[in-house]
Structure 1
């Protein structure tokens, strides 16, 4: 669905997109969107039926599906790299037979994505993460615990399995931090936060594991800390300054089940099952304290953080948008009613893209991708409104970053341009590209090993247009 919410009190529908049709599979008999990632004028949508759809969003009022991948691949997770997409795949077939592996798709021509590489390990791969030329996937064989597999994809057409760790029961999410991997797992009734040294993929080492009091529903980290949404136990904070000896800093019982967490500056934003969102000051983790609570319209499924804004995904087919630049006074900016349960959001400029999960037969109609106009809601002083198809700074990631930042930008046609980086004092510190380029999506990288920690800004100049993206944060 597409809604105009430039006036939140008078939201109205602009258009509807329901081209993501259900495809029968072994896992489910419903349809809907589970995850969404944006790449230029394209939305890559992982569907609940384990397929992948590529949708043109260059005109948000006339969206259309340009290609799809379903059937054998069983998309469980995916990551991008330039013109490739890497897919963690796998499912059970008849008689307990496991079919799956790693797929590499060439997406230079998204209308006809080409399978250029694959590696089958008779495993169901559930999560995937990428660092340089290395892919990290957790997976399991039939009636076996999970393990971490590391692939070398320097040649995407011939991915090579480099290493496999010892088995871990129910290995969870994967986050790469320089030469270390952060994850969680469960062994019988005990839940662990674990960190691995992956600097040498020939000998991956478990550096540390810490048992937690309850299930780890989610975790988030910055350069120095990791915060756990630790179910009934509440919020747990660990020091990541020395990954080989990361230590427990503090625990805060929230009086509810913590289901999701995001770190925002010196605060942890914790989604609780029944009592809404807790804003926790973690500047002194040993004495963390709740500084504010926001009670949403319905129970929260999860939350997404984008710069100074948090998006609350809620059970009753609803999303609430909060400005949290002042966590002591979070401001409700708008509410979007979706056709189905929201599962993931992505933001490009002032446009909100929503993966809407299982279809609700009591709603107006099926819709797997919702697009919402947030003009006037997400405005900040250092941001320019960006619409798909214009000259635009699309994304900069990871943000915050440690030493290297990747920037995606778009030029509408052949033009002269300049892409540069400024510090918070307005001084230009680096020029990432200048001259003439053809139209389309382009990529740049800022390697900043000598730059101090702090807030920086990206500036794109083209066709007498100056676009200043919201802040990027370099942390050491």
Structure 2
């Protein structure tokens, strides 16, 4: 069996190398999102906090310092990390996407200005005058000229021996927290030629640095706070330290005589550094889950915590820092279902969300109900939502989606993972190694009528007429006859090579999300003897799937989503992919959009080309790139390459297929070309740009957000 699979996979690779697919293969674009999670950093400017989330930039108003209020957000695909503000611009270190420059002159409408893609993974950034200094992880320090923010240009770089993480600028010196290599001090009096002035090797891993007066304060993973004298930057010397066992410092800020140290042990430490040789702990705040950054404004410390949001801590009494408020983003979206203009989303932390998706560019949360102990899955039947959690089944009346109410429950004390509701019965699977059949004819009083023991721990379930298909983890797929719901009968099974987590049936095929083994496609025309037809290794982990027409949409964990073409089930191939900011757990594909329950937020993507004929086969040397930025505000750049001199037509269409603008209509020479589309007079929405060169045509999509 294993050898056969290797041969099938090799054949698939050869086919993908030899065939040029028509443009009907989906190219995925971001449309909208809400309920962002995973806060990484923040900077305070005036009455605003500019926060980096995995999804991009969030702007909060803190005119009331203890009650941060959401103002705006701007999506980026990179995984945002450090941020600084200089004048009307925010500069964001966006991990693999490099430096993002954002106009924040109107905080309610931040707009993308330019990107500079650094060679490494941008972790932090400081700006002084015409230069941005970026710590670029494995690529050291990158210095970029930003005198024209719309056209950042490379100036120079310095390759540090470690992994450049935090950064602080003081005078002519750049202090770099270089992870395992400690602190590197660069003389940047000539930005074209940064020179190593001095260094200090910390005991652990230097993650952040703050300079005040003659001292550099270092957040050193495994050894907390290190203080060095940098009055002579070429010869930094150790002064003092504060260290607690099993406490990992990740970030810090200095204000007056106090160091505010964020540690991975869910806490903020206040340390008296009035005597740098003998720093002493003054007070501690416990509670923030995985803090990443801290900034001080007046009597308050603002702390970004990955799984909680933005904390406001009152530090007026350093001995007793106390919680004062927060911007809550305690979300871990797990699964979802779509009905009409609403998405119903389960959340491992916050319970059950209802999101209005009538405007996909701006989905809006309209309701949230806390569900005890981690809501995992949801199904909709009529006016009821059936939610399973680690404490059983909850039934909610959703006749008014903006005002859902729990009306019934079936409580258990083990984890329920998946649910499917058909008629008067809800079928539940969980880590009790059972299929539980619940009579829900009276939603206010659900009753268990059968518990069918499974050989493994069933993770997923799909009902098709009189049959239940169970994804039974290490035991693969089980097929049960449930024509009598109180007496399920096993009639067939197939042991997949991985861990079966989810299953969907269409016609004579069962499509299985098989964790690290990817997608398994089974022929079930004979239910008692399912047979392998084909498979596709998605790498990482296939967690959940949605099937629409000839495509499987795969929630593939940390690698985002994969779209697999199954028009020939024996030879599935990758049609498209999209790397989301977090860990994708749930996925739902409709005829227009892909909806995602991602660890970093609820997301909507587009993937279908509507109303534009682009069936001509493509030349292998002809290319039309994705616009940048995408999504964009007001204007974006379209780049393309011609394989031969030809008459070129570049046109813009709206989502209905109506032409709205012609950008190019001319004869052009072979090579690379680019054009800026100024869409200032166009409404927000999805647009398609089609390039025709001779007889060759290609179409891509973009999203305009205002």
Aligned to 1:334: 575
User: Quick one: structure 1 residues 186 and 15, their matched pair in 2 at CA, closer, same or farther if it must change by over 3 Å?
Assistant: closer
CA distance in 1 between partners of 2:33 and 2:356 (Å): 26
Q: Does structure 1 residue 235 correspond to structure 2 residue 477?
A: yes
Aligned counterpart in structure 1 of residue 382 of structure 2, from 132, 150, 172: 132
Gaps of 5+ in 2: 1-19, 41-50, 56-69, 76-107, 110-326, 616-652, 659-706
| Cα deviation digits, residues 107-157 of structure 1 (max 9, x gap) | 8899796857x76787654444332222323346xxxxx132333344667
Match of residue 448 from structure 1: none
| 2:388 aligned counterpart, secondary structure | strand
- Judge conservation of contact 1:6–1:373 (CA < 8 Å) in 2: no
TM-score normalised to the size of structure 1? 0.52
Q: Aligned residue for 1:208?
A: 450
Partner Cα distance (1:263, 1:163) in 2: 30
How far residue 310 of structure 1 moved from its aligned partner, in angstroms, is 1.5
Structure 2 equivalent of residue 225 of structure 1: 467
Quote how far apart the aligned CAs of 1:215 are.
Answer: 2.0
1:177 lines up with 2:422 in the alignment: yes
SS in 1 for 2:528: helix
Q: How far is 1:312 from its partner? A: 4.0
Distance 1:123 1:323, change over 3 A: closer
1:192 equivalent in alignment to 2:467: no
**Aligned to 1:246, which of 471, 475, 488?**
488
CA distance in 2, matches of 1:128, 1:240: 21
Task: Name the CA distance, whole Å, in 1 between partners of 2:508 and 2:37.
Answer: 43
- 1:183 Cα deviation after fit: 0.9
Q: In the TM superposition, what are the counterparts of 1:303-452 in structure 2 within 5 Å?
A: 303-314=545-556, 317=559, 319-330=561-572, 332=573, 334-336=575-577, 338=579, 340=581, 343=584, 344-347=586-589, 349=591, 371=605, 373=607, 375=609, 389-390=655-656
Residue 85 of structure 1: how far off its partner (Å) = 6.3
User: Secondary structure at the residue paired with 1:220?
Assistant: strand
SS in 1 for 2:435: strand
Deviation, 1:268, is 1.4
Mapped to 1, the partners of 2:444 and 2:470 lie a distance apart of 30
Cα shift at 1:291: 2.7
Once the two structures are TM-superposed, the CA of residue 184 in structure 1 deviates from its matched residue by 0.9
Alpha carbon RMSD of aligned pairs, Å? 5.5
**Unaligned ranges ≥5, structure 1:** 34-50, 57-64, 92-99, 141-145, 359-366, 382-386, 393-476
Count of aligned pairs between the two proteins = 330
* C-alpha deviation, 1:211, in angstroms: 1.4
Structure number with bigger Rg: 2
1:6, 1:374 within 8 Å by CA — same for their partners in 2?
no
Distance 1:103 1:316 in 2: 23
1:71 aligns with 2:313: no
Find the counterpart in structure 1 of residue 512 from structure 2. 270
Task: Give me the whole-angstrom Cα distance separating, in 1, the residues matched to 2:554 and 2:351.
Answer: 34
Greater relative CO, 1 or 2 (CA 8 Å, sep 6+): 1
Alignment of 1:141-152 (within 5 A): 146-152=391-397
Change (3 A) 1:300 1:15: closer
Displacement of 1:256: 3.3
Q: Is the 8 A contact 1:319 1:342 kept in 2?
A: no
The answer (yes or no) to whether the contact 1:73–1:89 under 8 Å persists in 2 is no
1:151-197 superposed Cα distances (whole Å, 9 cap, x missing partner)? 3344667655433324241122222112111111223xxx1111111
Secondary structure at 2:501's aligned position in 1? Answer: strand
Specify the alignment match of 2:535 in structure 1.
Answer: 293
Q: 1:273-299 CA distances to partner (integer Å, 9 max, x unpaired)?
A: 444432222222222222333345665
How many Å separate the matches in 1 of 2:467 and 2:328? Answer: 40
Going from structure 1 to structure 2, the CA distance change for 1:184 and 1:388 (only over 3 Å counts) comes to: farther
* 1:346 shift after superposition: 4.8
- In the TM superposition, residue 304 of structure 1 has moved relative to its aligned partner by 2.8
| TM-score, scaled to structure 2 | 0.37
Within 2, Cα distance between the matches of 1:372 and 1:215?
35
Q: CA deviation at 1:198?
A: 0.6
The question of whether the paired residues in 2 share the 8 Å contact of 1:356 and 1:370 is answered with: no
